Amino acid sequence: MPNNSTDEPSVPFERTEEFRLLRMLHNIGATKPEKSLSIHEISEWTETEASEIDTELQKLAKQGFIQSIEADGTTKYHVTLSGMRKVLSMYS
Amino acid sequence: MNICFATWEFPPRIVGGIARHCNGLAKALARNGHEIHVITLDFPGTPSYEECDGVMIYRTPTELGHPNFLTWALLFNHFIEKKIAGVNRKVDFDVVHVHDWLTGFAGISFKHQMQKPMVATIHGTEVGRAQGLHNPDSFTIDGIEWWTTYEANKIIVTSDSMKGEVHGHFHLPQEKIEIIPNGIDPKRYNAPVNRSAVRGRYGVNPREKLILCVGRLVPQKGIEYLISAIPQISESHRDSRLIIVGEGWLRGHLERIARSTRYQRKITFTGWIPDRELIALLNSADVLVVPSIYEPFGIVALEGMAAGVPVVVSDVGGLSEIVEHERTGILAYSRSPESIAWAIERVLSDPDHSEWLVRNARDMVQKTYSWEAIAMRTAKVYKEVAG
């Protein structure tokens, strides 16, 4: 097992805002279409401006971690299977 | 015996190795004549109750959520506990078996309310996973782990290194800790596949060397060190390709490292793939690499051995107990791209030696890691605590 010491690549343990939002959506149970939440509801949970959340939600949707549905005349969001796996990878 | 498993993951809710472990062990215990009830969390697209190969599976919804993970874990334990109590009224469990701290609360309540024994399998510790306790959540999880091991009548760990870790960190008596390794069903992994078709799906042509890595994309898996080894491997094997299977919060960072090597076109991230596809890939790879920096057991190495692919693993934790260097696989220093590159080259450069390693590894898996043998050893622990 020959070994040459190397500099360790840095690991960004800090979480991004979008990942924090994804984790929160998962933990409050928005994991299926019938439990989807509107931007207004997410804003209340996170105590963050709706306009800021919208940007993060679009990023998460683009990556396939959340999905939107139209319900009660508004757009609502829930975490996808891929998003659940992303979140759960932190805890196992 | 009437046995209750409490686990937060069970197929198809697969996060790490716990789901596969619980599934294999539960089915083997059922085959050995025990009555097994698995209480777990719901998952989209799965029924709330089903029987599968003699195992009764209850998936309980978590009616309340909370943004804080620890509070959420406390809440889902309450729903698991309620389900255990409900099933216990009909079944009268002899023992409850919890897996990691995540279902510790439910198990401890059951133990005291029903005056029945609790067994806990510790698959990994927070201090090991996070390589230290760096934030308040980690300290809390560490405390819950200690509490779970303190309350359990018996602790099961999957490797000698885990026994040392649990004994040392939680100050438990040695005799309270039993080592019972993980198991696999070797037949399931030794599947006939059309290698060129499988490789073709990932853009790997028959001449190229397929280096496979399977694991959650989190720091403890050490995947960045494997990626950093690719330039060195490519010097001697220009036709090599790295396929990384798995999902995790570190993926963006790993993809950036892959780009920085300037060998990005040789590295593919597949994300999560179903088990059938994973088995097909294992059977089509030229080498499986497990570059972890912390690994209580490392079941993926056994899966690779059963599939007949030569394995290269880090010389850490359970991996160094599973793999015998130069006899059933190759050990490399963890956190060392140079050592990982050397080990991969050792496999790719000498096909005869690799075949010999594969034969030895397959024999060892058959003899040592069958679920039947592991279920018998686990049942012995249940009998001991149940009196």
Domain layout of chain B by residue ranges: 2-183+370-386, 186-368
Which amino acid appears at position A15 of this protein?
R
Name the residue in chain A with its Cα closest to that of B16: A92
Q: Taking a C-beta distance cutoff of 8 angstroms, is the pair B119, B154 a contact?
A: yes
Which residues of chain A are within 8 Å of residue B214 when distances are taken between CB atoms? none
DSSP per position, B263-303:
-GGGEEEEE---HHHHHHHHTT-SEEEE--S--SS-HHHHH
Q: Taking a C-beta distance cutoff of 8 angstroms, is the pair B57, B50 a contact?
A: yes
| Residues in chain B with pLDDT values less than 70 | none
Most confident of A15-24, A44-53, B27-36: B27-36
Residues A12-36 have a mean pLDDT of 82
pLDDT of residue A10: 44
- A7 pLDDT higher than 60: no
- DSSP annotation of A63 reads T
Q: Give CA–CA dist B94/B243, Å, rounded.
A: 45
Residue A28 distance to chain B (closest CA, Å): 4
Residue B197 distance to chain A (closest CA, Å): 26
Chain B touched by A7 (CB under 8 Å): no
Q: Taking a C-beta distance cutoff of 8 angstroms, is the pair A42, A77 a contact?
A: yes
DSSP per position, B206-258:
TTSEEEEEES-SSGGG-HHHHHHHHHHHHHH-TTEEEEEE---TTHHHHHHHH
Q: What does the block give as tokens for B223? A: 């995947």
Neighbours of B368 (CB within 10 A): 13
Q: Taking a C-beta distance cutoff of 8 angstroms, is the pair B345, B312 a contact?
A: no
Whether ipTM > 0.85 holds is no
- Name the class of domain B186-368: alpha beta
Q: Is A3–B333 a contact, with Cβ atoms under 8 angstroms apart?
A: yes
pLDDT of residue B14: 82
Binned at pLDDT 50, 70 and 90, residue A9 comes out as very low
pLDDT of residue A48: 84
Residues A29-58 have a mean pLDDT of 90
Residue A61 distance to chain B (closest CA, Å): 16
Q: Which of A6, A84, A90 sits opposite B338 (nearest CB)?
A: A6
Q: Is A30–B68 a contact, with Cβ atoms under 8 angstroms apart?
A: no
End-to-end CA, chain A: 30
The reply to whether B186-368 shares the fold of B2-183+370-386 is yes
- A12 pLDDT higher than 50: no
Q: Which CATH architecture has domain B2-183+370-386?
A: 3-Layer(aba) Sandwich (3.40)
Which amino acid appears at position A36 of this protein?
S
Q: Give CA–CA dist B289/B279, Å, rounded.
A: 15
Q: Which of B253, B257, B338 sits opposite A4 (nearest CB)?
A: B338
Calculate the average pLDDT of chain B.
94
Give the CB-side neighbour count of residue B178, counting CA atoms within 13 A. 19
- DSSP annotation of B4 reads E
Q: Taking a C-beta distance cutoff of 8 angstroms, is the pair B39, B62 a contact?
A: no
Binned at pLDDT 50, 70 and 90, residue A14 comes out as very low
Residue of B81, B79, B74 lying closest to B98 (CA atoms): B81
Q: Is B219–A88 a contact, with Cβ atoms under 8 angstroms apart?
A: no
Q: Give CA–CA dist B282/B311, Å, rounded.
A: 11
My answer on whether omega of the bond before B192 falls inside 30° of 0, hence cis, is: no
Q: Taking a C-beta distance cutoff of 8 angstroms, is the pair B15, B106 a contact?
A: no
Which residues of chain B are within 8 Å of residue A84 when distances are taken between CB atoms? 44
Element (H, E) at B97: strand B95-99
Q: Is B342–A32 a contact, with Cβ atoms under 8 angstroms apart?
A: no
Q: Which CATH architecture has domain A17-88?
A: Orthogonal Bundle (1.10)
pLDDT of residue B387: 85
3-state secondary structure of B188: helix
Chain A touched by B356 (CB under 8 Å): no
Chain B touched by A67 (CB under 8 Å): no
Residue B81 distance to chain A (closest CA, Å): 19
Binned at pLDDT 50, 70 and 90, residue A6 comes out as very low
pLDDT of residue A92: 62
Which residues of chain B are within 8 Å of residue A90 when distances are taken between CB atoms? 69, 218, 248-249
Rounded to 5°, angle at Cα B177 from B101 and B97:
45
Chain A touched by B295 (CB under 8 Å): no
